[in-house]
Amino acid sequence: MFDVVISGAGPAGCRCAQVLAEKGFEVALIERDTNWRKPCGGAVSSRIFKYYPQLRKLNYAPITGITMYSGDYHELSYSWKNIRDYSINVDRLEFDNFIRAIAVDAGAHLFDKNLSVDFITKNNRRIGIKTKIPSGTKEYSGKILIVADGMSSKLAPKSGLKGKWKIDEIGLCKCAIMVGENSLDKHSISLFFRAYKGYGWIFPLDENRFNIGCGTWLDENLTTNLNQAFDEFLNDSHIKKFFPISQYKEIWKGAYPIPALGVKEKCLYGETIMIIGDAAGFVSPISGEGIHPCVVSGQTAAEVAINALETEDISTQSLKKYKQHPNIKKMIRNFKMKVSMVEFLFENKGQNLSKMFELAGTDDKIREEVINMFLFSIPPSKELLLKIQT
Ligand SMILES: Cc1cc2nc3c(=O)[nH]c(=O)nc-3n(C[C@H](O)[C@H](O)[C@H](O)COP(=O)(O)OP(=O)(O)OC[C@H]3O[C@@H](n4cnc5c(N)ncnc54)[C@H](O)[C@@H]3O)c2cc1C
């Protein structure tokens, strides 16, 4: 019997497992495939270093700038060099295995090639997780069960806490890692908001590798074909200018859904269960940044589990502290603000966003406000919103 069984060794599950194992608890970390590269842009803000200071030693190129484009290519650039700590762009296969190794070093037991398929139930109480392995099935019993297996989770809908994702509450994204000569600034990322509800990105990885992708959001998923949008994005003349030599090679590509409406508040905890990471919607609605929020959810769930185990109170009431934690409440509030901005920004084929960037180009005060909104989650003033609409 484990103290905690965690399904999914992505950023949320790994952080959760590490924190619990460091406190001496017995943790099973179940993963379906450690060779799978999660489709992801891999842009990670500097806030990650608080949780993984080890990343600083990996010599990532420091990312200190961003250029954002509206659907009709109004441009807004910002550099935080010498103002704030740098961000990094990671290859998710390398990153995930790096943080898995940290969890294992802390004492977590990683079980690879295990596909979680259901809960084990006894006397109407969930007491473990059942998995499929290449040679049959396995069972892992635990006092607390944590669902961290992302958007494809089989356990989350079976938990009774949440239903399956609906097509108009998620984003659909496709991306590729390419290698070849390019004229990208290696210290800056680029975001391309589209005239439809969606955006594309180019994130340099190292000297010649870069991650490129795009996604559609919410009701746009019903009308825009993702494969077509991806091809159009790659062939857009504004994008192609970064790749003057057309001899770049695609070395990997993938597509995956992403939560788009913020945290699913009602599904976060239940009897013996907590849901963390993407499976519970911990992704920032406008930017699609999920790695850091998912790590925070994993950290918080671990702290709540530690308290429950130490006080021998594994009641639903005790696990409720996860949802009530100030860090979780802050994210819920912040994501709600961003959800409310999405419709506004993409209104009239992205014209509000376009006007916002245009105004920011001529007025320093507005520029600061827009940057604060996108980068530091500070809501825009009513005056700015009115100005955009007139
Ligand atoms: C295309 C795309 C681009 C993105 N770009 C960015 C970005 O640039 N920056 C950013 O911060 N965020 C980005 N995100 C969001 C980010 O990828 C996620 O928010 C983050 O990976 C979620 O972490 P997680 O641990 O909750 O889930 P995941 O990373 O999905 O990890 C879940 C783990 O569970 C495993 N698993 C799944 N099902 C099972 C099962 N049944 N049994 C056992 N194991 C299972 C998976 O193999 C995986 O290892 C992007 C998302 C997409 C789709």
Domains defined along the chain, listed by start = 2-45+87-165+261-335 (3.50.50.60), 340-389 (no CATH)
- Say how many Å lie between the CA of residue 275 and the centre of ligand 1: 14
Does the CB atom of residue 73 touch ligand 1 within 6 A? no
Q: What is the mean pLDDT of residues 126-151?
A: 98
Among candidate residues 264, 293, 301, 368, the one with its CA nearest the CA of residue 146 = 301
State the closest ligand 1 atom to the C-alpha of 45, by its place in the atom list counted from 1: 11
- Whether the predicted pLDDT of 334 surpasses 70: yes
Does the CB atom of residue 32 touch ligand 1 within 6 A? yes
- Whether the predicted pLDDT of 130 surpasses 90: yes
Residue 252 in tokens: 């990997």
CA distance 188 to 88: 10
- Give pLDDT, residue 376: 85
- Say how many Å lie between the CA of residue 6 and the centre of ligand 1: 15
Position 242 confidence tier, pLDDT thresholds 50, 70, 90:
confident
Q: What is the mean pLDDT of residues 51-77?
A: 95
CA distance 382 to 369: 11
Long-range CB pairs of 327-331 (<8 Å, 24+ gap) are: 327/296, 327/299, 327/300, 328/263, 328/268, 328/296, 328/297, 328/300, 331/263, 331/282, 331/293, 331/296, 331/297
- Give pLDDT, residue 243: 80
- Whether the predicted pLDDT of 247 surpasses 80: no
- Give pLDDT, residue 134: 96
Position 375 confidence tier, pLDDT thresholds 50, 70, 90:
confident
Position 245 confidence tier, pLDDT thresholds 50, 70, 90:
low
Helix (H, G, I), strand (E, B) or coil at 234: helix
Among candidate residues 124, 125, 123, 107, the one with its CA nearest the CA of residue 29 = 107
The angle formed by the CA atoms of residues 87, 376 and 275, to the nearest 5 degrees, is 80
- Give pLDDT, residue 197: 92
Say how many CA atoms lie within 13 Å of 259 toward its Cβ: 27
Does the CB atom of residue 43 touch ligand 1 within 6 A? yes
State the closest ligand 1 atom to the C-alpha of 291, by its place in the atom list counted from 1: 11
- Say how many Å lie between the CA of residue 150 and the centre of ligand 1: 5
Nearest CA to ligand 1 atom 48: 10
DSSP state of 313: -
By mean pLDDT, which of 115-124, 299-308, 309-318, 344-353 is the weakest?
Answer: 344-353
- Give pLDDT, residue 343: 85
CA distance 57 to 124: 48
Residue count (the chain): 390
Does the CB atom of residue 198 touch ligand 1 within 6 A? no
- Give pLDDT, residue 390: 80
By mean pLDDT, which of 106-110, 312-316, 359-363 is the weakest?
Answer: 359-363
- Which segments of 88-195 are extended strands (E)? 88-89, 109-111, 115-122, 125-133, 136-147, 170-179, 188-193
- Give pLDDT, residue 314: 96
- pTM for the model stands at 0.97
- Percentage of the chain beyond pLDDT 90 is 88
- Say how many Å lie between the CA of residue 232 and the centre of ligand 1: 25
State the closest ligand 1 atom to the C-alpha of 175, by its place in the atom list counted from 1: 1
**pLDDT tens digits for range 166-203:** 999 999 999 999 999 888 999 999 999 999 999 999 99
Q: What is the mean pLDDT of residues 307-326?
A: 97
- Percentage of the chain beyond pLDDT 70 is 99
Nearest CA to ligand 1 atom 4: 40
Q: What is the mean pLDDT of residues 62-83?
A: 94
Among candidate residues 238, 188, 212, the one with its CA nearest the CA of residue 42 = 212
